[in-house]
Structure 1
Amino acid sequence: MTMTWLPHYLPEGTVYGVLLNFQRETALWADRMNQDPYKAPPKAPVLYVKTANTFTPSGHDVPLAADVPEVEVGAAVGLIMGEPGQGPVACALFSDLAVPHESYFRPPVKFRCRDGFLGVGRDAIALAAVGGLEGLQKHLLEVRVDGVLRQTVQLGDMVREASVLLADVAEFMTLQRGDVLLLGSDCLADGSRPRAKVGDTVEVSAAGFKPVVTHFVAEEEVTA
């Protein structure tokens, strides 16, 4: 199947993120997974949705309200689906933003789905161009805030590598053409993620992809 993309790629379907899919963060949360209310580690992938109002092309501004002094930045690769049963046919780079919050088990929509809270890479790239699903495992993602390197993410450190994540998600739902499955984002050593505020510019980059660049402005600057 041939897929045609817009000059600047934007998701055509639903975007699903996945929590706790990196070894470091899973280890940091291990003790708390056995506490209330779940009392056990999750057996299936823990997903959340990034709604269409969050989609922001690379190079565009993201407004932050006065009650959001900082955002957390998650560097992620997303798998773009072909027809049902075909699996992923392409991938793209994303900057998954969230309001800092205490729990990752059941994050409220208001933390992850604010306007502009998903920076989208300029191009959708054929999986073959990055070595397929196995080739993705070798990729490094970098997060820079105002040009300063804040994080390096090794996709080989995922709990569920891409093929396993896809298979596990397929156990309970069917991904449709144009849907995107983010592979998750890693945390820093202290369990947090890189943060940005009004006036900052964030760049998420990886070899073979054009960077996702996001500049943060005060909400009143947009509405004035």
Structure 2
Amino acid sequence: MSTWTPNGTVYGTLLNFRREWDLWSARMTQDPHKAAPQAPVLYVKTANTFSLAGQDLLLQDGVSEVDIGATLGLVIGQQAQVVGAVLLNDWSVPHTSYYRPPVKFRCRDGFLALPEQVTPGQAQDWAGLQIAVRCNGELVQTLDLRELMRDLPTLLADVGEFMTLQPGDVLMVGTDCLPDGTRPRAKAGDKVEISALGLASVVTTVGAAA
């Protein structure tokens, strides 16, 4: 059986976990935005980022470590309805801006680690999901989807207010930070596993390009 790959556009959501929102709230009123965002803040993971299950992540161009971005992706079917979900690792180069992250930090080759398969279901099936992140076997983060600023139905509805998700698209619900505002990081030689009950895990070994 061939491994899964998205056949539509993959969208990410920024600032959708309560902890990170609270850490950023004081800066939201500053220039250039002057106010907290009223709609979901989205970005696109381009097709060059797709990394099939089991593939290594190769660090290139002087990058020595990467942020681990564990998240749940909602797979869209007909009439913008959710037909399944996947765990994903939305890698990024460490950076400080989460309003408009430059493409060079998020859209490098192989920077979206995929699972083997989609788990069928509806959005409400994962409302209370907990996602475990392990690096070299050590638990380094737990994401609780009950801590989302916009829960799954609300996120879908709010995105639908300004764009129509197409069959095959994937909407990632967001990645969370640690208490200090950073994300767990991995370097060459590390093995990262993202897992949650009932979903196919994502396991990636980080390597340095020759």
TM-score w.r.t. the length of structure 2 is 0.97
Q: How do 1:124-203 residues align onto structure 2 when only pairs under 5 Å count?
A: 124-127=118-121, 132-203=122-193
1: CA distance, partners of 2:72 / 2:98? 19
Aligned-partner SS, 1:216: strand
Distance 2:54 2:159 in 1: 32
User: Could you tell me how far apart the structure 2 residues matched to 1:58 and 1:143 are?
Assistant: 16
CA distance in 1, matches of 2:7, 2:30: 38
Question: In 1, distance between residues paired with 2:203 and 2:73?
Answer: 16
Gaps of 5+ in 1: 1-5
CA–CA distance in structure 2, aligned partners of residues 188 and 59 of structure 1: 26
Are residue 204 (structure 1) and residue 190 (structure 2) matched?
A: no
- The share of aligned pairs that are identical, in percent, is 53
SS state at 2:124 partner = helix
Q: Are the aligned partners of 1:94 and 1:118 in contact in 2 as well (CA < 8 Å)?
A: yes
State yes or no: 1:48 paired with 2:12.
no
Give the distance between the partners of 1:219 and 1:36, measured in 2 at CA: 39
Following superposition, the deviation at residue 66 of structure 1 comes to 4.4
CA deviations over 1:27-60 (Å, ceiling 9, x no partner) = 0000011111101000000000001111112221
- The Cα of 1:86 is off from its aligned counterpart by 4.2
TM-score normalised by L of structure 1: 0.91
- Paired with 1:162 and 1:138, the residues of 2 have a C-alpha distance of 10
8 Å CA contact retained: 2:192, 2:204: yes
Shift of residue 87, structure 1, vs aligned partner: 1.1
Aligned with 1:118 (options 108, 112, 124)? 112
Counterpart check, 1:80 vs 2:75: yes
Instruction: Please say which of residues 63-72 and 39-48 is displaced more in the overlay.
Output: 63-72
1:209 shift after superposition: 1.2
1:21 aligns with 2:11: no
